[in-house]
Amino acid sequence: MGRKDVSTSRTPVDQYRKQIGKQDYKKTRPMLRATRLKAEAKKTALGVKEVALVLAAILVFLLAFYAFFYLNISNEVDLDLDPDEN
């Protein structure tokens, strides 16, 4: 009789969780392990946005590096020319 009282006082959410737990228990261990590993891999995997941001940062750095040396070399070449030599 005590068991009936316990089961009637359960909320629908608890009953649903128990049902899901039973279904999950029916799965085999390798299947559960594969699901867990897949979820962990999805969490730790690099997304397209992160890769694009890193590539964009590298490109900006290289362009700034190139522009710095291009401007320095072009200024030095102009200073080395003497207008009186011609």
SS3 for 9? Answer: coil
Q: What are the structure tokens assigned to 47, written together?
A: 């997304």
Least confident stretch, 22-26, 37-41, 65-69, 80-84: 80-84
Q: Considering just the CA atoms, what is the radius of gyration of the chain in Å?
A: 34
Report, as an integer, the average pLDDT of 6-10: 61
Structural domains counted in the chain: 2
Read out DSSP for 39-58?
Answer: HHHHHHSPPHHHHHHHHHHH
User: Does residue 5 belong to any structural domain of this protein?
Assistant: no
Domain span including residue 23? 12-45
Looking at residue 22, its pLDDT comes to 76
In a domain, 25, yes or no: yes
Q: What is the dihedral of CA 80, 83, 84, 86, to 10 degrees?
A: 100
Write the CB contacts of 18 (distance below 8 Å, at least 6 apart in sequence): 10
pTM for the predicted model, two decimal places: 0.40
**Least confident window among 11-15, 53-57, 58-62:** 11-15
Is the predicted pLDDT of residue 55 greater than 60, yes or no?
A: yes
